Chains A and B, each alone.
Chain A
Amino acid sequence: MKKLKILAICLFVLGSLYSCTKNFEEINTNPNTTLVGMIQPSGMFEPILYNSANQWLNRTWYYNNELMQFTAHTGGVTRREHLYFLEDSRDWYGFWNHYATYGKNIDHMYELAQENDDPSLEAIALTFKVLFFSNMTDMFGSVPYEEAFTGRKLGGTLTPKFNTQKEVYEFLFEDLEKANDIYATSPIFLNPAMDGMYGGDMQAWRKFNNSLYLRILCRISGRSEMNAGAKMTEIINNPAKYPLFTSNADNAVVKFSGNDPYISNFGTTTESDFTSSGRKLTRQLIGLTVQTDINGNQVYVDPRLPVIGKKNPIVEVNPDNIWIGTVSGCTEIERSEVDRGTSWLNYRVFCRRDAPATYMDYAEVQFILAEAALKNHITGGAAAAKSYYEAGVRASMVKWSEQGAFSDPAVTITTGDVDTYLASPLGSWDLATNKEEFLGNQKWLALFWVGMEAYHEYRRTGYPVLTIGEGTVYNDNILPTRFGYPNVTISTNNANATAALEEMGGPNDMKTPVWWSKQAISGGK
């Protein structure tokens, strides 16, 4: 009897244990989130649109403005971007990862759109892909394109080969053509309210797509073998097939509602964190926007300056209430002197919860055409260049005038103000001696607060001529020509990265020029 009891206990124990592995798969199913592939493509759209716009705003403020001498973080002691202290993990990896992370999500949206037969998002994915990849290659040079993002797919690779910048551009042209063809079929954007840029208007997306086409054609226009002029001509001669931005209303601008989570990047930043304690306007910016007479009096100011900037309001340090810029790249000893009374970014304009983020605007299109005409890539010559230029300035003025409403006091830029500007030594085409430089300077101003464009364009044209301060010792007083491949790329994809560097002709530093740059072209590379 007792032995039976014992046996029973043992059997019970064994039995209860060895119902065993039958629920394992169920137990190991993640209850917190969704399996990849189980969503609609629209699930990917909003995070890409809004989050990348915000990240981009941050990078513009943090890097583009500092490298391009719109601002200089002279106020603190730890931010040294304006001294070219840029290195692997925060900066190189930061950019690389930014482009790659959005790139992979865009790539996935494209796949989902194809699987779910959603042509509108398929085309949008392609447009976005070009936006990110062109920036990535412009930042780093050769990058993986054909074999990118395949690591998470069956049969993919973890060591993608790099495509040269030329190859990448050729692929991007194909992507844009493909997207343009899809837009041409007027696909339906299923949930227009989701589209914080164009409200689901496919024709507007198409204009963005083709304006982007123009941007990247312009970027490589120094490379004669690419025949950028011919394609530009084809585009502007065929507005039905290649509609472009025709006004600021077409601008690729992400509009934040200001309600959580649709809050603009600097919506909760204080003035101190944003500018007054660190990032001040520079002499470079003041020099191109303020006209000074021979006595040093500030006699005329670019109407956009009071929108994007603000004079230092503290009487003790700015008794004459003038625009003062700091010196980008200054040394520590110079700092307390050059930093005194310097102007700030206009906090009220940029640090709004609903402050917009611009991927690309109409003014840029006009500046691209002005340069193309001036260089005879398209027809029209100098006369056309002037009219494109003036249209570009007007567009830029109108764009900033809208933002000026949020300034304190409000700034409005009237048509008369623009006329005055276009006749002034600051803005007059006719008074400019070196038209290329003048256009470069003006485009630099117009590209303020638009991604990394000013940095790309500076490397392409060499304009504006920037002063490299003595404090920029961290890259041997050389303005970075590119960003280096991050350590993880070198470690895990060494052979391909090394081959890419060899092809570009330099070590993995910030001194090797990229393919379309002025330095590469004039250096015969």
Chain B
Amino acid sequence: MKIKPDLKIVLAILLLALVIFPVMAQERQVTGTVYEPDGVTPVFGATVVIKGTSTGTSTDARGAYSIRVTGDNPVLEIQFLGYVKQEVAVGNRSVINVVLEEEAIEVSAVVVTALGLTREEKSLGYAVTKVDNEDLTKAVNSNWLNGMAGKVAGLTAVGAGTGPISSMRVTLRGDQSLNYGANEALFIVDGVPVRSGTTATSGSSPYTNSGGDFPVDFGNGASDLNPEDIETVSVLKGPAATALYGSRAANGAIVITTKSGRRDKGIGVTVNSSFVVERAGYWPDFQTQFGSGSDIGQNEYCFWTLNPSLTGTTDYPSRNLSRYAWGEEFSEDKLRYQYEGKDWETGLISPTPFVYQDDWFTGIFQDGITLNNSVAISGSNGEGQNVRFSVTDTRNKWILPNTGYNKQAYSFSFETPVNRHIDFRTKVNYYRTDSDNMPMAGYHQTTVMYDLMWGYNSNSMSNWRDEYFEGRFNAINRNATISENGNSLVVAGTGSYNPYRVLYEELNTTDKDRVFGNMGFTFHLLEGLTLDLRSGIDLGVEFRTQRKPKLTYVWNNGFYREQSMTNFEINSDFLLRYQKDFLDGRLTSTAAFGGNNMVYHYRRNTVQLDELDIDGVYHINNVPFGIIPDPSNYRSYKTINSLYGFVSLGWDDTYYLDITGRNDWSSTLSRDNWSYFYPSVAASVLLDQAFDFRTNLPVVSFAKLRLSWANVGNDTSPYSLDQYYSASSISGGYALPSTIPDPMIKPENVESWELGLDAKFFRNRLGFDLALYSSSTTNQIVSVDIDPIVGASGMNINAGEITNKGIEVALYATPVKSSDFTWDITLNWAKNKNTLVSLQEGWDPDQPFETDMGTTIGGRLHVYSYIGQEMHQIYGFALQRAPEGSYYIDDNGKQVDCSGQVILDATTGLPSVESTADHFLGKVNPDWRGGFSTSLRYKNLTLSGVFSYQWGGHRYSVTNGILSYQGKLTNSLEGRYDGIVAEGVNIVSTNEDGSAVCQVNNTVTNSIYTYYQARVLDRYNGESHTFETSFLKFKEARLEYALPAALVQKTKVLQGASIALFATNIFSWDKWPQYDPEGGIMTGTNVYSGVEAGAFPMTRTLGMNLRLSF
């Protein structure tokens, strides 16, 4: 079989795209009026377009139109929102009046489901949420997944605030697996799975005080996708929806369809340009009254170790500095020997006013700018052959100096019939991303945010800038033997560094090329029988470098790492489908049988220099004598073969039943376990049809009740069956692995139920979709922590059960709809409860299961799950409180219960921190979350807004802890000089039952430093730094003006034009102390919720967008 695409047509289309010339033909005028169904009321704003062309107009206030037609058999298309599109052949007429028909109830909406099959939404027995391109491209986000937030009930996209392309973890309906990294939704592009995860630069945690390696966020795989090329996104939430995708979609799937060429004959060009300015905000609540110091202002602040030859006086203080802000009160009148007071040419040091520097923290941030330009050409010969080609160029300059990225996306789509029986189609996308520097994120000595948190609030950012750019950051100035703690702005050895040096010299580069696409044939074998053959690849090649000059924390002699990664996946599948109607079309049926072969290869080659020979030179040969570069290479290979089939039955367009079955054979499991089968059943009934609501209950335009059940299996990662040595840096040296595998590990199993009701009223002006679901994951393949004394620190087992139960509601309404004015509202709300039902056998139920976050904030904070309770709860230190049953006697001699109040020492007035980090501080997962969006259209002007909200989650903030205990925030202002009488009780005596007799505290706490720094605001006192993450965010606003069709038409060239202004993250109402209440921390390849550690500030953006189509 040869494919013979009509090359001439392709070529012609491309040529036409370059030279747009008007088609000269015979022209004549057609006029007429468009009426509403009553045949009297004129319709204003209806569009009248000549079919197959770009020529069009719209009706005026009297419903009248006038249009010039050309060609042999022109056909007019008359269209107006809410009415059926009409086609009228012009013939010889010159006046054509049209009476519109109200659109029938919109039941024929089509969605993309598993295996890329398009199905009528009404026939589905499970929930599918569709997001259109428009919703994703309305506002330009660094990661298009951001645009999904708040738009789909049950979808959670969490980023970590880690840089220009913040990776996001996308989950649907909660975490199914104890294995935190195995909960993400599967991404499918044009029917073929694509890799969405992140590839870590290293597995280190983003909270640490030792070790010099740290995750850099280069973006996750799904963030590569270009939103401009996305046609629609279908979110398949439950296993029933994804059962045909098999094990990888056990957590639901995000099914993306990219754009194809236009269907109607002709050529179209769309140009889209946007310009976005991004500004950091949502700052911590800094105090501005007290300066650097750690002794409550008892001694004068003095940055330098002085002597008379430096100051010209013998009356100088001794060096007294601290990065804390527990020092003297600021005053213009206080002259202090500060960093800025040194004349670096003469070496003389003079005192300067000791005042708060407004830019000490924020001064490093700049306005980020993103330019996004795309051109898309689309053409069709009107006979089934179509092509689309687009190029998008994105240039980002981020909010920190010397960071950002460039990205180009090329997308090509081509469809053609090969002959009467065979169709061919292909889609190819090529993305390249490169960056000269992506910043390191997290709380660590080598990140900018750490440097800022540990800066002096009496020191302007310009000092840091000057120190770096004037070359004062050097070994001599950092040497503590020169002066007590060196001459550099941050004292030697304390770990934090000049942020400008971090940004200009500790570079993390990336160069990423990715191709994915597929090609396939559809054979129309017999009436109703088709065979699809398709093969898709996803090839990603990335090259990264990480550079650290000498004198970097931990890497005192420099560091260089090169990393190459290849991800390669091929999916080949076939699907044989037979469709036939019986009994005069009352019974519709489709049966299909298919198979898939998935092959996945991963290769990672890393070479690391732990020392550099020549400073500032980065290549793998720049090694000093005696140092051997450490290579670390890894490759893996995995394959899954599958067979599947389904039967879909429909009765009277009213009752539907879907049954699917799939068997997977995964290479990652042992012979006895590598084959596993799972079925699904989904049924739905259209109540409006069944009970003839059309006549009986006309307000109901549509009502569907659906019920589904599914069971899905899940495999594990390659090489998890046997014990393999881990290599040592010593050649020929080995160590035992840290994990004990289970060779007989069984596939995971997710079983789920879903019940849904979808109803529309008042001719679709109002509607809701309600879903109730319950899922249970058993036989979890999970690595549990075990006591290292048994011979390993972890073990892979099948254990435990997790359940997710939830409700999702989507509401939509069009309160106003007239020819000039339309107002739409959509609202969604989702509640999910994620419960740990059981763990491995023998697990003491009083003991928590700790989510391996890669960090537990040094053991001071834990994210625990207890058997029988909701998962992911935060535990940590808290102040000691009066035990249950404690009381005091008030002035009237009455006994007042005071259990739970803070215990304060009667003499000092100081509270104490509990000795173990086991105080419950809040649960990570919110009670409910959702979004709200609205759009108002008046004529050609559209105003839209998107809100998202969440209620009841909690998160621990390292940033708040660090800034608070250093006295840099307003929460430590009270009583700085005069002491405070803290609220709480003193213990008078303790009763036998453990309760206490107390008295109300009257002691004045004078040790303010200890009170705040070591007790109430101690960085490890989790209670003080764990906050609710309830919020209401005004996420997006957009005002768009589309050029009126009449005006567009006059240009002769344009088909449409619009200009829009938009803003994102406009406001957030929350109790979170700084930045973004949403998000987590990035560790290795995961984004963990529940902890924030050195996140970058949340940004507001303001952008402009111009879209022209020709």
Contact = CB atoms under 8 A, between A and B. Distances in A.
A235 interface: no
A87 interface: yes
A27 B637 contact: yes
Contact of B626 (A143, A151, A260, A271): A260
Contacts of B944: none
Contacts of A148: 789-791
A276 B724 contact: no
A24 B728 CA distance: 29
Interface in A226-283: 258-262, 268-273, 276-278
A27 B847 contact: no
A384 B93 CA distance: 130
B789 A276 contact: no
Nearest to A92: B859
Interface string B254-297: 00000000000000000000000000000000000000001100
Contacts, number: 284
Interface in B630-648: 633-639, 641, 643
A150 interface: yes
Interface stretch (A121-129, A157-165, A286-294, A516-524): A157-165
Contacts of A493: 787
Contacts of B484: 312, 314, 316-317
B665 interface: yes
A276 B667 contact: no
A2 B419 CA distance: 14
A152 B722 contact: no
A201 B428 CA distance: 66
A89 B856 contact: yes
Interface string B851-864: 00000101110000
Contact of B723 (A35, A39, A89): A35
Contacts of B493: 75-76, 270, 272-273, 276-278
A326 to B, nearest CB: 13
A105 B736 contact: yes
A45 B74 CA distance: 88
A10 B529 CA distance: 13
A96 to B, nearest CB: 7
A24 B665 contact: yes
Looking at chain B's contact residues, the main secondary structure is: loop
Interface in B843-886: 843-844, 846-848, 850, 856, 858-860
B531 A6 contact: yes
Contacts of A21: 641, 665, 667, 674-675
A75 B610 CA distance: 27
A15 B323 CA distance: 71
A151 B791 contact: yes
Contact of B737 (A18, A36, A160, A487): A36
Contact of B847 (A31, A156, A490): A490
Contact of B787 (A37, A314, A316, A488): A488
Contact of B734 (A34, A91, A107, A331): A34
Interface in A462-498: 473, 486-494
B877 to A, nearest CB: 9
A29 to B, nearest CB: 8
B721 interface: yes
A332 B1013 contact: yes
A149 interface: yes
B494 A76 contact: yes
A97 B788 contact: yes
Interface in B467-484: 478-484
Contact of A105 (B492, B574, B735): B735
A149 B481 contact: no
A77 B1013 CA distance: 11
B628 interface: yes
Contact of B724 (A27, A30, A271): A30
A333 interface: yes
B634 A32 contact: yes
Contacts of A89: 856, 858-859
A178 interface: no
Nearest to A149: B791
Interface size class of A (residues with CB under 8 A): 35 or more
A46 B494 contact: no
Interface stretch (B38-46, B299-307, B509-517, B926-934): B299-307
B671 A25 contact: yes
B732 interface: yes
B80 to A, nearest CB: 46
A108 B725 CA distance: 11
A340 to B, nearest CB: 7
A388 interface: no
B481 A271 contact: yes
A491 B318 contact: no
A269 to B, nearest CB: 7
A258 B793 CA distance: 31
A307 B309 CA distance: 33
A486 B790 CA distance: 14
A269 B721 CA distance: 40
Interface in B715-754: 718-719, 721-730, 732-738, 740
B294 A46 contact: no
Most buried by B among A103, A313, A488: A488
B1009 interface: yes
B485 interface: yes
B718 A28 contact: yes
Interface in B601-653: 610-611, 626-628, 633-639, 641, 643
B595 interface: yes
A277 B491 contact: yes
B195 to A, nearest CB: 19
A50 interface: yes
B455 interface: no
Interface string B524-536: 0100000101000
B320 A36 contact: no
B1109 interface: no
B736 A492 contact: no
Interface string A406-422: 00000000000000000
B788 A270 contact: no
Contacts of B322: 77
A78 interface: yes
Given A28-B668, A35-B722, A100-B788, A259 B494 contact: no
B209 A78 contact: yes
B324 interface: yes
A17 B627 contact: no
Most buried by A among B209, B727, B734: B734
A166 to B, nearest CB: 18
B669 to A, nearest CB: 8
Given A268-B556, A491-B847, A152 B790 contact: yes
A93 interface: yes
B1094 to A, nearest CB: 14
B327 to A, nearest CB: 11
Interface string B492-514: 11100000000000000000000
A1 interface: no
A277 B305 contact: no
Interface in A49-102: 50-51, 75-78, 87-91, 93, 96-97, 100-101
Contacts of B859: 87-91, 93
Contacts of B667: 21, 23-24, 27-28
Interface of B: 209, 294-295, 298-299, 305-307, 318-320, 322-324, 478-486, 491-494, 523, 525, 531, 533, 556-557, 574, 576, 595, 597, 610-611, 626-628, 633-639, 641, 643, 665, 667-668, 671, 674-675, 718-719, 721-730, 732-738, 740, 784-793, 795, 842-844, 846-848, 850, 856, 858-860, 915-917, 1009-1010, 1013-1014
11 contacts: A6-B523, A13-B595, A17-B595, A34-B734, A97-B788, A151-B786, A271-B479, A313-B481, A315-B307, A317-B319, A487-B850
Ranked 6 nearest A-B pairs via Cβ: A277-B493, A89-B859, A272-B493, A151-B790, A100-B788, A272-B492
